[in-house]
A and B are shown apart, each in its own frame.
Chain A
Amino acid sequence: DAKTTQPNSMESNEEEPVHLPCNHSTISGTDYIHWYRQLPSQGPEYVIHGLTSNVNNRMASLAIAEDRKSSTLILHRATLRDAAVYYCILEGGSEKLVFGKGTKLTVNP
């Protein structure tokens, strides 16, 4: 399974945009890019996923580099509730999610 690299932690201020980067240089052509987040004391929660094109949903946007070797999760206006560990995951033919260490996002009021 291809691996992803994320910063261990990031900090943001409330109501400001947040850009969470993820590198996946060994991604294959059929790997989907998923983002999940885990709030304290909860199970992970789906955020967004994509293959090649940028994606938007009510929670966030996913910007995928043209060569697909990196992607960025964009939270347009961070709230205190967005403080969580964010996981960038590749899912390929095996259809299993392989979680890395993720990025711990701190949102300051």
Chain B
Amino acid sequence: KAGVTQTPRYLIKTRGQQVTLSCSPISGHRSVSWYQQTPGQGLQFLFEYFSETQRNKGNFPGRFSGRQFSNSRSEMNVSTLELGDSALYLCASRTSGRYNEQFFGPGTRLTVL
């Protein structure tokens, strides 16, 4: 089985722009979660989607949004980028069962200049 894939792997944007990141979960996985990782704050949960519905949300401003498609692929969008949005954005997928292990992708490294 192919693992979780994220595109692009690296991205450079300037303040004020918006960005869309993509995540393809493992085949058969219906839950996709997004995390932000920075040196200062560590790994922080952004949101989780299950069957095209947002099921959980972390404490991030409304500039961060996401969606999930019928094939379970997910996108995450950040509008009006700020310097502090520079981070590694990680996507994880798992089966529908609760408390099952999550499989993480390699992440997208976003740099905001």
Residues on A lying within 8 angstroms of B by beta carbon are: 32, 34, 36, 42-46, 49, 87, 91, 94-102
Contact = CB atoms under 8 A, between A and B. Distances in A.
B104 A43 contact: yes
28 contacts: A32-B99, A36-B102, A43-B4, A43-B90, A43-B92, A43-B104, A43-B105, A44-B43, A44-B90, A44-B92, A44-B102, A44-B104, A49-B99, A91-B99, A94-B56, A95-B98, A95-B99, A96-B45, A96-B48, A96-B56, A96-B58, A97-B33, A97-B102, A99-B35, A99-B42, A99-B43, A99-B45, A100-B42
A83 B1 CA distance: 26
Nearest to A48: B101
Contacts, number: 48
Nearest to A1: B45
Q: Is the interface of B mostly helix, strand, loop or mixed?
A: strand
Interface of B: 4, 33, 35, 42-45, 48, 55-56, 58, 90, 92, 98-99, 101-107
B104 A97 contact: no
Contacts of B103: 46
B101 A46 contact: yes
In the complex, which of the residues B45, B56, B99, B105 has the most CB atoms of chain A within 10 Å of its own CB atom? B99
